[in-house]
Amino acid sequence: MDTTTASARIRTGATLYAYTNAFHQRRLGLEGLVREVARRGQGPGLEVVGFQSFRDFPDVSDDTAARFRDLVASTGLTLTCLGINSDTHVTPHRSRSTQELVDFHARQLRSAAKLGFPVVRCQYAAGPEVLRALAPLARDLDVRLGLEIHAPHTVDHPEILAFREMYAQVGSPYLGFIPDFGSSARAVPRRYIEYYRANGVPERAITAALELWSDDSDPFTKRPRYLEWAAANDIERSRALEIHTIFGLFSRQPPRNWLEIMPQVVHVHGKFYEVDDSGEEASIDYRAILATFVEGGYEGFISSEWEGHQVSDEDGFLDVDRHQAMIRGILAAS
């Protein structure tokens, strides 16, 4: 019988994406962000986005890799995941071919190995055949490929099922998933609603969007349906386009649905927006989600991924403090 505690099997960490505002405001660069995460005890896990953090990405020089690995070693942090991009459309009038995408991803995968990351975050736009072709390289480099399941996708959406079917065919332990908790939201975050109001989105447009978000229809149909409603109801298109992003940021997948892919989960994005003074995340039911991951036997890191930067000027550090305290409290009681 496994006698280890849930808090020992599931560890906290941070993604530098959570501090996007501090980066964009030029308050901290890559080294400053890494050191601040360590200083505040927001590790031990450290996740980085390749194109955000390394000027020479998708390739990295030996010097860049050495300096980064020395930096991480000096902080005592543990590298968990490198976010890589699919970038299927980089030239006008055509998409990259499958082979071009394989080559592009292989460059990023080799850079991840050189930098010392054990997992890369892949995007669904790459398609199953690209990840199939990369599985042997991932094995040779000992870097796992984690397909992010991000709203509006769910574990049983046809596009995700195509990856699951391919995974079953290949049978490689280097092919896995990275759940994003934004796919299991229970409400649109308060911060977002307040932002829309402050920026002139009419109340009736907000009400209509929230009602549509809350129904059980296919989330992929909601954005076009909302824009049609807005046009028919004289909502300025710029305002409609601003609020319709809620249909791509948050989905209502039941937390227990994550159990379907749990054996193949290689990392987790602990998406959150605001932990209140009572220690709760009103828009995402962390107690139910973490209970599911404990039941499923997940062992690994959860990166605190604050996405409030889209509607707030805060730097994210205090938000991550609250988020990790919430996670640790829930796991300690499990």
Residue 203 has a CB neighbour count (10 Å cut-off) of: 9
Q: Which position among 105, 150, 244, 323 bears the catalytic label? A: 150
Distance CA 112, CA 302 (A): 19
Residue type, 51: F
Q: Are 267 and 121 in contact (CB under 8 A)?
A: yes
CB crowding 36-47: b at 16 or more within 10 Å, else e: bbbeeebbbbbb
CA-CA-CA-CA torsion sign (55, 58, 61, 65):
positive
User: In degrees rounded to 5, what are phi and psi of residue 215?
Assistant: -85, 170
Query: CB under 8 Å to 100, separation ≥6 — which residues?
Result: none
3-class DSSP state for residue 328?
helix
DSSP state of 184: B
φ/ψ bin of 67: left (φ > 0), alpha (ψ from -120 to 50), beta (otherwise):
alpha
Clarify whether 150 is annotated catalytic. Answer: yes
CA-CA-CA-CA torsion sign (54, 56, 58, 59):
negative
Residues with catalytic annotation? Answer: 150
